[in-house]
Each structure stands twice: as C-alpha cells, then as structure tokens.
Amino acid sequence: MKAVIFSEHGGPEVLRYTEVPEPPIGPNEVLVRVRACALNHLDLWIRRGMPGISIPLPHILGSDISGDVAKTGAEVSGVKTGEKVLLLPGISCGHCAQCAAGKDSQCRGYTLFGYMVDGGYAEYVKAPAVNVIPMPPNLSYEEAAAVPLVFLTAWHMLITRADLKPAEEVLVLGAGSGVGSAAIQIAKVTGARVIATAGSDEKLAKAKELGADETILHSRQDIAAEVKRLTNRRGVDVVFEHVGEVTWEKSIRSLAVGGRLVTCGATTGYEGKIDIRYLFTRQLSILGSYMGGKPELLAVLELVARRAVKPVIDKVFPLAQAAEAHRHLESREQFGKVVLRVP
Ligand SMILES: [Zn+2]
C-alpha cells in the first residue's frame, strides 16, 4: 500500500511517500481503507521527536481517520465490510476500571493512532473493532476526519473537566486552531457566552461566524485587560487553554473569582508561573485534560449529526503532499483543520 512514513525524526522533509506492506489484522481487528486523515499538532511533535519518548520507527502518523471497512477479523461482529466509518482516535486496554467507566484516556495503556501504533497517513490502517464508529451520514470523509480528536478534546475540557454552565462566560484561546474552533461551538451549544482570541482580524471574523460573542486580537490587545473590559471587571468563569507559556499568566488573570482554567496543551512552552496567594484567595481551579472517552465522542457525533456543531476545514492536501501539509500547519496561518485526502 502507499503510505507516508518517517524513519528518523526531523523537519517535514523526513516524511516520505512510499510503498509499505499492508498491515495484517488480528481476530478482533478491522482493516480500514483510509479516505481522509486530519492533522494535529501532535503529529508535528511526534515527527520532531520528544525527549524521553521512543516512537517505533519507521512510523506512520495520523490520529484522525475516516474511511471504509475493507476487512474484518474472525471474531468481529457488528461491523460490515464497505461500511463508512471514522475511528475513535484513542486505543486503550478495554478492561481496567478507567476503561469500564468510559474514561479511556486515563487507562495506563492509552495511546493514539499515529502515536505508539501506526496511523492514518496510509491507504490502510488496522484498528481494534471497538474503535470503529459509523460516520454521521451528513459528512464527507474529510469532514468526518476533522471531527474526532479536537471535538473530543474540547468536549472533555469544557463539559467533563470544567463543567461549563449555560449562564457562564468562557474565554477560548486560539480560535483559529482545530481545538479552538471546536471549543467555540461546544461552548455555544451549552449556552455560555464566548470570548475568543486569534492573531488576525480575518480569524476573528471567522470565530464570530462560529458563534463567538466577543473577540480579542491577541497580537495587539492585552487578553486579561480586554477580558476584564468585556465582563464588566468580573473575569470569565472558564479559560480554555492550550497555548501554554506565552498566555498562561494572562489566562489566570482573566479568571473570575471561583474560575476554572482548563488546559490540554502548551504549544508555546511548558513553564507557567502562578502566584499561589492569587490561586487560593480567589478560589481558582487549574484542571488538566487529555483527550477523552468513547462516550464523549459519541455525544459529540450526535451533535454533529443534528448539525448543532460542524467540523471546520482549512485546507485539504493529497496524501503524497503530507510534508507540505505539515509546513502549512506549522505556519499557524490556518483556521480549522488541515486534512489529507487519501485517493
Ligand atoms: Zn484500560
């Protein structure tokens, strides 16, 4: 089969479009003919290499996958050849207390397609049958691939971790990112008032189209000062963080008394300072979040099927141009998801 692989860590140039063997499947697995695979920042981190984490090489990236069922293992039931599907991006043991509670991403054995196992930058990918989910009928393959990771992450952050309520106000950082564009929509579905930030007027206009009530141009305006102005000096109940070092202190300063900061990433750096007195006197909560569980993705897909939320696609590249797609994502000029089409 055709696939994009890398055999050493480095820049986009290490990605090679080449021929590799089709993966054999076990009795409880399914072979999926990939039609689309969305990119995530995680792909960039894995390609570059992360200290202390050993990725099996050569490696196939890609966590967000849609396609057709090509083959099913002997023990698989409930999945049919030819069915249009998307894949739950997280793979877990399926047996531990966390898995049984639907908290897949807290499983000790948790990983993702394209992380410790091969992913969707290929014509075929093998998947545990439990990861296979029927595609919402109103979506293209590219749209279906643009849903799972970012909507699962945003749902887990806002609904499960931060417990966002309808009358509350939320600050969504980085509206142009995949996770930011998902967060605006999920926050609006709950009924919350959304303040979104982005680095250009064009992106802010798109954030408003997605439902943001107010916007902040973070390249020119001070986030915390603008939040105070827009909330009548109160601050927001929830800050949706994934930027990290550059925004951390401003994010904390943007919280109302009793506010919650929820974070799933640190794309600008890992060091965040906090004045502990400010934390306890204002009764703030800092919440970590990582991916989410299958029940949460199924909830999101229900909203997608009802057209209450929609995947936002920035640009589609053919699989063979994966390196170009990585450069595009690294440029941070996108609004929404960058997707590979697999012909
Ligand atoms: Zn488990």
Cα(53) to ligand 1 centroid in Å equals 20
Q: Phi/psi of residue 220, each to 5°?
A: -125, -20
Cα(106) to ligand 1 centroid in Å equals 7
Cα(101) to ligand 1 centroid in Å equals 9
Judge whether 336 and 172 are in contact, CB under 8 Å: no
Q: Phi/psi of residue 240, each to 5°?
A: -95, 100
Cα(124) to ligand 1 centroid in Å equals 25
Q: Which amino acid is at 103?
A: K
Which among 259, 267, 214 is positioned nearest to 235, based on CA atoms? 259
Residue pLDDT tens, the chain, 343 long: 999 999 999 999 999 999 999 999 999 999 999 999 999 999 999 999 999 999 999 999 999 999 999 999 999 999 999 999 999 999 999 999 999 999 999 999 999 999 999 999 999 999 999 999 999 998 999 999 999 999 999 999 999 999 999 999 999 999 999 999 999 999 999 999 999 999 999 999 999 999 999 999 999 999 999 999 999 999 999 999 999 999 999 999 999 999 999 999 998 999 999 999 999 999 999 999 999 999 999 999 999 999 999 999 999 999 999 999 999 999 988 999 999 999 9
- Pairwise CA distance, residues 182 & 201, whole Å: 19
Task: Give the contacts of 47 (CB within 8 A, at least 6 positions apart).
Answer: 6, 9, 10, 12, 14, 15, 61, 326
Task: Give the contacts of 296 (CB within 8 A, at least 6 positions apart).
Answer: 102, 152, 155, 156, 159, 160
Cα(1) to ligand 1 centroid in Å equals 31
Cα(100) to ligand 1 centroid in Å equals 7
Cα(104) to ligand 1 centroid in Å equals 6
Cα(89) to ligand 1 centroid in Å equals 15
Judge whether 65 and 319 are in contact, CB under 8 Å: no
Cα(111) to ligand 1 centroid in Å equals 10
Cα(131) to ligand 1 centroid in Å equals 14
pLDDT at 17: 98
pLDDT at 118: 98
| Total-model pTM | 0.96
pLDDT at 332: 86
Cα(108) to ligand 1 centroid in Å equals 6
- Pairwise CA distance, residues 251 & 259, whole Å: 11
pLDDT at 172: 98
